[in-house]
Amino acid sequence: MKNIIDILTGLVSEAFGAAGFDPALGAVTVSGRPELCHFQCNGALPAAKIYKKPPMEIAGSVISHLLNRPEFREVSAAAPGFINITLSDGYIVSILNEMSRDPYLGVPQTGSGKTVVIDYGGPNVAKPLHIGHLRSAVIGESVKRTARALGYNAIGDVHFGDWGTPYGLTIAEYKVRHPDWACFKDDFDPAVDIIPEINEDEMNEIYPFASAKSKEDEEFKVASRQTVVDLQNRKPGIFDLWKKIKDTSVQSVKEIYDRLSVDFDYWYGESDSDGYTAELIERLTEKGLLHESEGAQVVDVSEEGDKISVPPVIVKKSDGSSIYATFDLATIIQREKDFHPDGIWYLTDKRQNLHFTQVFRCAKKAGLVPENTDLRHLGFGTMSGPDGKPFKTRDGGVMTLKSFIEMVDGAALEKLKDSEYIAGDKTEAAHTIGMAALKFGDMQNQPTKDYIFDLDKFLSFDGKTGTYLLYTVTRINSILKKSGTGYEQTPEIGGIFSDGERTLALAIIMSCQSYEKTCSDLAPSALCDSAYQIASAFSGFYRDNRILTEEDPDKKNSWLGLSSLTRRAMIKLLDCLGIGTVENM
Ligand code: ARG
């Protein structure tokens, strides 16, 4: 189904053409003054300059070609030259019924035929997921689901950090602690020698320890550098130990992502790009882009007009080892070969903005992807604690994601304690509600901004919260159940009988725009706004009308149809936010 803005833009553009003006002036937007009209077109203002005529006159002649159309209740000109459009109730109803029958529920399939790789999550081997990994997982999952709803072939890749300096440090420290392990012998033989099981507690503790130690202990630092080189050369023993550590990490990371309903198509890591490093160097050399700087191999990526200095990107360190940017560049080659994507979208915190500027420029300069490949990075802000500083545990430490989820679940369970609407064990419902509160609390913000994590507020049944949205869905569930309307049944909407319905209908129709906006801005806040607008419009509609006791069967049926469509539209928006719903609460 085409989205309403495109349909209206088509009609108004035609009218501009018919009146003798450039049809490109007919762009329609949502009204800035909803009390006056639903949509507007401002094209008569620029047209006035081009055609040297008063804007009101131009608006008037465009409007003369739009009169008496069944889509509009009113089209009028407003000073200084706006064209104000109000849809007719008949047209609103026909769109609702068309949405209801559409397999995509009115979401335009603008991504159809296109492939995007979405790089999010970004965990690191041998480090537990912590609070800093939350936003990438949550926002990335939502962007991926939304892209799919638009028809994209959207591929999620976790891009594990597993091949750089930290793993040299980790393995070097293992060697200090377990010098007797066979993997450290020069004559290690994978066919005979065994790598012991990795103890997760030790694994989680070892990297920060080793990292701190390398700052004071020069000998250890040198040893760990050599270990990175050995690892990247896949030295037997070292490489086998690394594999074991990685398997252990992947398993524990997967469990946490599962709890967040975050899932990836590929669990590739930096190490998987290793096979493309030689080709990367070759292609950069061929293009004459690589040069030496202080022993390292670098590519210049600064551009005229840069507001901040963009330093050269380091592709090989002086000891020949690969680093973060090398992996990202080699991964681009890999993705281009495997998927030939139309876009690669990355979600990390904004401290990596410069890194991605460097990588994208280098990739385009070297022609690793076609010029029009949409390489995009969303650098999001920080989640702060109530004091406005980055969120910390009570004793000032970094909270693991596991404990964080447990804390949210616990608070949600406490909130549901006295609810009589949930029979039996409330743990799973509490988890669904807790995650809704958490995810909505995060994503309703402009992602580039910092925000304050306020669990009490997020769990409130009132206001713009995930909890309120789930609650709204449960209210609709109850209406449909009481009326005997099955969730799959969607009675035809027969008309608009009250103002509240019109507001709700428009909120549902407009929500179809938010999917494209989410992908174009990498910002699910558009979905959050739509879901909230639908929920609050539903509250108004429900307050004004007694659906279940209505005696006019046509009216009642139409209202049930609208309630059912509201429910489906909300569940779809929530699903794209990675938020599940509960039956009752
Ligand atoms: N592992 C990285 C980190 O902890 C994030 C990876 C983001 N993705 C990427 N392609 N660089 O900072």
Ligand 1 centroid from CA 263, angstroms = 17
The verdict on 571 and 462 lying in the same domain is: yes
The verdict on 539 and 425 lying in the same domain is: yes
The verdict on 173 and 80 lying in the same domain is: no
For residue 440, the model assigns a pLDDT of 98
What domain range is 74 assigned to?
4-87
The protein residue with its alpha carbon nearest to ligand 1, atom 5, reads: 122
The verdict on 61 and 198 lying in the same domain is: no
Ligand 1 neighbour 348 (Cβ under 6 A): yes
Residue 67 lies in a domain: yes
- DSSP code for 390: B
Closest CA to 471 of 460, 486, 457, 455: 460
Three-state DSSP state, 545: coil
The CA–CA distances, whole Å, from 90 to 101, 216, 455, 548, 554 equal 17, 75, 43, 24, 15
**What is the rounded CA–CA span in Å between residue 332 and residue 344?**
8
Three-state DSSP state, 162: coil
For residue 422, the model assigns a pLDDT of 85
Ligand 1 centroid from CA 562, angstroms = 44
For residue 124, the model assigns a pLDDT of 93
- DSSP code for 463: S
Residue 343 lies in a domain: no
For residue 392, the model assigns a pLDDT of 84
Q: How far apart are the first and last CA of the chain?
A: 34
Residue 511 lies in a domain: yes
The verdict on 456 and 572 lying in the same domain is: yes
Ligand 1 neighbour 161 (Cβ under 6 A): yes
The verdict on 447 and 569 lying in the same domain is: yes
The protein residue with its alpha carbon nearest to ligand 1, atom 12, reads: 122
Residue 148 lies in a domain: no
**What is the rounded CA–CA span in Å between residue 574 and residue 113?**
25
Q: Which atom of ligand 1 is nearest to the CA of 124?
A: 1
The protein residue with its alpha carbon nearest to ligand 1, atom 7, reads: 122
For residue 389, the model assigns a pLDDT of 85
**What is the rounded CA–CA span in Å between residue 249 and residue 259?**
16
In the chain (585 residues long), the average pLDDT of successive 10-residue segments reads: 95 97 96 93 97 97 95 96 97 97 97 98 92 96 98 97 91 96 93 92 93 96 93 94 94 95 96 95 96 96 95 93 94 98 98 98 98 98 89 84 96 91 90 98 96 95 96 97 90 95 96 96 98 98 95 96 97 98 94
The answer to whether the beta carbons of residues 51 and 31 sit under 8 Å apart is: no
Q: Which CATH number do you get for residue 55?
A: 3.30.1360.70
Ligand 1 neighbour 124 (Cβ under 6 A): yes
Residue 271 lies in a domain: no
For residue 366, the model assigns a pLDDT of 97
The verdict on 535 and 407 lying in the same domain is: yes
The answer to whether the beta carbons of residues 569 and 509 sit under 8 Å apart is: no
For residue 159, the model assigns a pLDDT of 96
The domain boundary, picked from 70, 87, 104, lies at 87
The verdict on 189 and 78 lying in the same domain is: no
For residue 200, how far is the Cα from the chain centroid?
30
**What is the rounded CA–CA span in Å between residue 230 and residue 240?**
11
The answer to whether the beta carbons of residues 303 and 336 sit under 8 Å apart is: no
**What is the rounded CA–CA span in Å between residue 562 and residue 541?**
10
Tell me how many domains the chain contains: 3
Residue 223 lies in a domain: yes
Q: Which atom of ligand 1 is nearest to the CA of 123?
A: 1
For residue 289, the model assigns a pLDDT of 97
The verdict on 405 and 542 lying in the same domain is: yes
Ligand 1 centroid from CA 516, angstroms = 26
Q: Which CATH number do you get for residue 518?
A: 1.10.730.10
**What is the rounded CA–CA span in Å between residue 413 and residue 480?**
27
Alpha helices by DSSP H, listed for 449-552, are 455-458, 466-483, 499-511, 513-521, 525-544
The domain boundary, picked from 87, 109, 130, lies at 87
Residue 478 lies in a domain: yes
The domain boundary, picked from 247, 277, 293, lies at 247
Q: Please choose from 350, 352, 357 the residue to mutate so as to test ligand 1's pocket, defined by most ligand atoms within 8 A of CB.
A: 352
Ligand 1 centroid from CA 323, angstroms = 12
DSSP 182-205: GGGSTT--TTT--PPPPPHHHHHH
Residue 541 lies in a domain: yes
The verdict on 52 and 172 lying in the same domain is: no
The verdict on 187 and 83 lying in the same domain is: no
The verdict on 420 and 515 lying in the same domain is: yes
For residue 418, the model assigns a pLDDT of 84
pLDDT in tens, 518-545: 999 999 999 999 999 999 999 999 999 9
Q: Which atom of ligand 1 is nearest to the CA of 270?
A: 10
For residue 489, the model assigns a pLDDT of 83
